[in-house]
Amino acid sequence: MWLDSYNEQFGKRLEELLEKVVPETLGELTPDQQKQVTEGSQEFPFEIVLDILTSKRSYEDKVYRILAITGTWLNATSPSEWSMGPLSGTEYSERVGIGIRWGEISFSPLSSIAEDLVDTYHIWPGVLMEFAHMQEDNRDYFCQRIREINDASKPESPLPPEHHAP
């Protein structure tokens, strides 16, 4: 619920990303790469992001494409969804951008994380490995948390275990 107001105010930016950038970015991938990203059939698409980072694309284009690949992969591998939310803020200001939300549990500010990756990669290439591990860790952690919440919200059966259907 807390992220809904961001989507109401800034949803056009998210719509643009989903209607333009994501299809364009996925359209440039090989069929195997598309499957990896859209089905989440493998580990984080490290090589795809590496190709974007080392390309001659503009800064903004790199950020948008990394955002598109990472968000699409996370949504395919976990119960997350695209959302607008806070990227950073101070007492008197707030920066809003695109990211991923896991229900009402958490918001991951992917646009600022992608910016940090593009900013840092040329100085320290190892940041890409950390980025990939962080996305996999987020996926695993929030999948587990959502499972726990769903299990806790299910009413217990009054029947003893031996009477449950197999």
Nearest to 17 by CA among 75, 56, 90: 75
Using DSSP, state whether 58 is helix, strand or coil: coil
Residue type, 5: S
Determine the pLDDT at residue 129: 95
Which residue type occupies 117?
L
Distance, C-alpha 15 to centroid of its chain = 15
Q: Residue range 47-70: average pLDDT?
A: 97
Sequence-separated (6 or more) residues with CB below 8 Å from residue 166 = none
What 3-state class would DSSP assign to 97?
A: strand
State the pLDDT confidence band at 165, using cuts at 50, 70 and 90: low
Q: Which of 94-98, 125-129, 144-148 ranks highest by mean pLDDT?
A: 125-129
Given this model, what pLDDT does residue 88 score? 80
Average pLDDT along the chain: 88
* 43: amino acid identity, one letter: E
Phi, psi of 116 (to 5 degrees): -60, -40
Q: What's the confidence (pLDDT) of residue 150?
A: 85
List pLDDT tens digits, range 2-34. 567 777 878 888 999 999 999 999 999 999 999
Percent of the chain with pLDDT over 90: 57
CA 69 – CA 44 distance, rounded (Å)? 10
Q: Which residues pair with 96 in a beta bridge?
A: 86
What is the domain partition of the chain in residue ranges? 4-143
Return d(Cα 115, Cα 111) in angstroms, integer.
6
